[in-house]
Amino acid sequence: MEFMGYRRTNGKVGVRNHVLVIPSVVCSQGAAEAITRNVKGTIYLPNVFGCAQVGADREQTKRALAGFGTNPNIFAVLVVGNGCENLSAKELAEAIQPSGKRVEYIEIQEVGGTKKTTSKGRKIIKEMLADAAKLQREPIPVSELILGTECGGSDYTSGLGSNPSVGAASDLLVEGGGTVILSETTELIGAEHLLAKRARTPEIGKQVLDLIAWWETEAIRTGQDIRGANPAPGNIAGGITTLEEKSLGCIYKGGTKALEEVIQYAFPPTKKGLVLMDTPGHDIDQLTGMMAGGSQIAVFTTGRGTPTGSPIAPVIKITANAGTYKKMKDNIDINVSQVVQGKETVKEAGKRIFDEIIAVASGKLSKAEKLGQRDFCIFKIGLNF
Amino acid sequence: MAQKSKAIVINEKDNVATAIVPLNAGTSVSLASQGHSGKIKLLSSIPMGHKFALAEIPKGTDVIKYGEAIGQTTASIARGEHVHVHNVVSHRGRKEGA
């Protein structure tokens, strides 16, 4: 099974061919936006961090930003800094360099203001775009795909229809040699024993249980009650009573294959097959983590409806709620409500989703891309000082 | 999973069913999935997507959906009664007794 993708010089494969402008710090976000404004084929990241950060928090922000640069959907990168931030444009550019693509950096203080930075940046990205245009799509085995999976705005139809259907599509991709990322750790609480049982080794199974225990202990330590955030009010209105119920519906997305690996936030998988990335349940933090880990495409199930998309990757939205599909047709790509009504099997719906993944990976635009949805949010794990 | 029922039972171990259409109190719902058959008379109105009990669930016992515990009852729930946040509590991600 193949799709049409862009082969990069380091052997990785992209499903898009964007030129990316990354502000290394929130202060240069305006300049990054100005550089890409009305320039088709370029994107800037709405990064709100990059300064006054220390330790693991700074490392995580750097890893996520660099991961977007190295993601194979990106042809070339321009990093824009201000000049005095503690995550410098140079440091970030150097972290992206090993991917083998063209990476440049400029700084507002050095170039001399926003206007000069904008015109200098525009000149650079136009050169990059001219080179990007020369690259052609070619047939690529599906084993090169890293599929991100996500659910948001869940209701009763998520566990009954859309998540099992995505699970069937995940199984097809794993059977084809590809990689599937399951994440949102907090939404595994109550279902972790089922996932741990599917781990390739007892060590991996223990990692799953330890991860869940950490999140649960952390919630209790802070004196907070996860129930205040999860299930969310919309989940409860939609019939989900407890976090366990949400989680049991949630893990269907990962299909039925063995769990090969547990990875930390925004790290790339080192194994093919099903992997678990430790992320919060927060939709955009999670999506950002998976894309920073090299995922080129995602499937996103919803019951209540959600507009989410990624700046650098197609996100295919799927619902099994017929009413939501009707109301939010401009946001949702695939309707699998017939599964809940017993008129389509999970396997049939899974095949439809898999076929759409191949079509979108080969160039068909997802609805979130058509709408220009560019949601980006890094999972922050420390204070700004 | 062809069904004409207005409610779904996902696993044979489950003690709740999920309404896939809004159901009024007093309605008799036929169930024909996962080993459950016969009719259940609803004691409460059940919004679409919400759950009702297939049998009496005593106070302090597990509510089972997907064949797994999804929480414990805080009151005894009668057959045909709405099962949701007003009579079920999660035991995860919080201090016991909170």
For the cut 60, the answer to whether the pLDDT of residue B3 exceeds it is no
Distance from CA of A186 to the nearest CA of B (A): 9
B75: domain CATH number is 2.30.130.110
Contact (Cβ atoms closer than 8 angstroms) between residue A103 and residue A129? no
Residue A80 banded pLDDT, cuts 50, 70, 90: very high
pLDDT tier at B38, thresholds 50, 70, 90:
confident
Residue B98 pLDDT > 60 = no
Q: Which residues of B touch A248 (CB under 8 A)?
A: 65-66, 68, 70
Shortest Cα–Cα distance, A250 to chain B (Å) = 11
- pLDDT value of residue B96: 57
Q: How confident is the model at residue A219 (pLDDT cuts 50, 70, 90)?
A: confident
Could you tell me what percent of chain A has a pLDDT over 70?
A: 99
CATH of the domain spanning A18-132, picked from 3.30.450, 1.20.120, 3.40.50, 1.10.10? 3.40.50
Q: What pLDDT is recorded for position B1?
A: 41
- The 3-class secondary structure across chain B, one letter per residue, is CCCCCCEECCCCCCCEEEECCCECCCCEEECCECCECCEEECCCCECCCCEEECCCECCCCEEEECCEEEEEECCCECCCCEECCCCEECCCCCCCCC
Question: How many domains are contained in chain B?
Answer: 1
Average pLDDT, integer, range B45-56 = 96
Residue B4, pLDDT score: 60
The pLDDT-based confidence of B95 (bands split at 50, 70, 90) is: low
The one-letter code for the residue type at A58 is R
- pLDDT number for residue A269: 98
Closest CA to A33 of A385, A299, A374, A379: A374
Ordered alpha helix ranges (H), A136-270: 156-157, 163-175, 192-197, 202-221, 233-237, 243-250
Instruction: Say whether pLDDT at A272 is over 80.
Output: yes
Q: Does B74 touch chain A (CB under 8 A)?
A: no
A227:B94 CB<8 A = yes
At A232 the pLDDT is 86
Q: Find chain A residues with C-beta within 8 A of B20's C-beta.
A: 160, 340-341
Q: What does the DSSP 8-state code read for residue A52? A: S
In the predicted model, is pLDDT for residue A342 greater than 60? yes
Tell me if B89 and A242 make a contact (CB, 8 A cut-off): yes
- Dihedral sign (CA A28, A34, A39, A43): positive
Is A244 in Cβ contact with B71 (below 8 Å)? yes
Q: Which of residues 207-246 of A touch B (CB under 8 A)?
A: 215-216, 219-220, 225-227, 230, 236, 238-239, 241-245
Give residue for tokens 């009496």.
Answer: B56
Residue A120: pLDDT band with limits 50, 70, 90: very high
Determine the structural domain holding residue B82 and report its residue range. 1-98
d(CA A78, CA A19): 8
pLDDT 10s digits, B70-86 = 999 999 999 999 999 99
pLDDT of residue A363: 98
Identify the weakest region by mean pLDDT among A89-93, A232-236, A268-272.
A232-236
Return d(Cα B58, Cα A297) in angstroms, integer: 46
Look at A135-144, A152-161, A353-362 and tell me which has the smallest mean pLDDT: A152-161
Residue A226 has pLDDT above 90, yes or no: no
Strands of the A138-141 sheet, one edge to the other: A13-14, A2-7, A138-141
What is the rounded average pLDDT of the residues B22-35? 87
Best residue in B74, B94, B96 for a mutation probing chain A (most A CBs within 10 Å): B94
Asked if A243's CB is within 8 angstroms of B92's CB, the reply is: yes
pLDDT of residue B91: 79
CB atoms within 10 A of CB A113: 10
Q: Is it the case that residue A343 has pLDDT exceeding 90?
A: yes
Is pLDDT of A123 > 90? yes
Say if B95 is an interface residue toward chain A (CB within 8 Å): yes
Give the range among A303-312, A313-322, B33-42, B48-57 with minimum mean pLDDT.
Answer: B33-42
| Inter-chain residue contact A220 with B93, CB threshold 8 Å | yes
State the pLDDT confidence band at B12, using cuts at 50, 70 and 90. Answer: very high
* Residue A124 confidence (pLDDT): 98
Q: Is B63 in CB contact (< 8 Å) with chain A?
A: yes
Does the pLDDT of residue A74 top 70, yes or no? yes
pLDDT tens for A318-329 read 999 999 999 999
CB-based contact A51:A87 (threshold 8 Å)? yes
pLDDT of residue B34: 67
Residue-averaged pLDDT of chain A: 96
Residues of A in contact with B32 (CB under 8 A): none
CA–CA separation, B56 vs B78, rounded Å? 4
Summarised one tens digit per residue, pLDDT across range A193-212 is: 999 999 999 999 999 999 99
Please report which confidence band the pLDDT of residue B92 belongs to, taking 50, 70 and 90 as the band edges.
confident
Kindly list the domain boundaries of chain A, sorted by start residue. 18-132, 141-370
User: Looking at the complex, does the CB of residue B47 fall below 8 Å from at least one CB of chain A?
Assistant: yes
Q: Per-residue pLDDT tens for A165-191?
A: 999 999 999 999 999 999 999 889 999
How large is the ipTM? Answer: 0.92
Q: Using a pLDDT cut of 90, give the percent of chain A over it.
A: 92
pLDDT in the model for residue A355: 98
Mean pLDDT, residues B56-77: 96
Residue pair A285/A379 in contact (Cβ under 8 Å)? The answer is yes
Provide the shortest C-alpha distance from residue A305 to chain B (in Å). 15
Q: Sign of the C-alpha dihedral, residues A35, A37, A43, A46?
A: positive
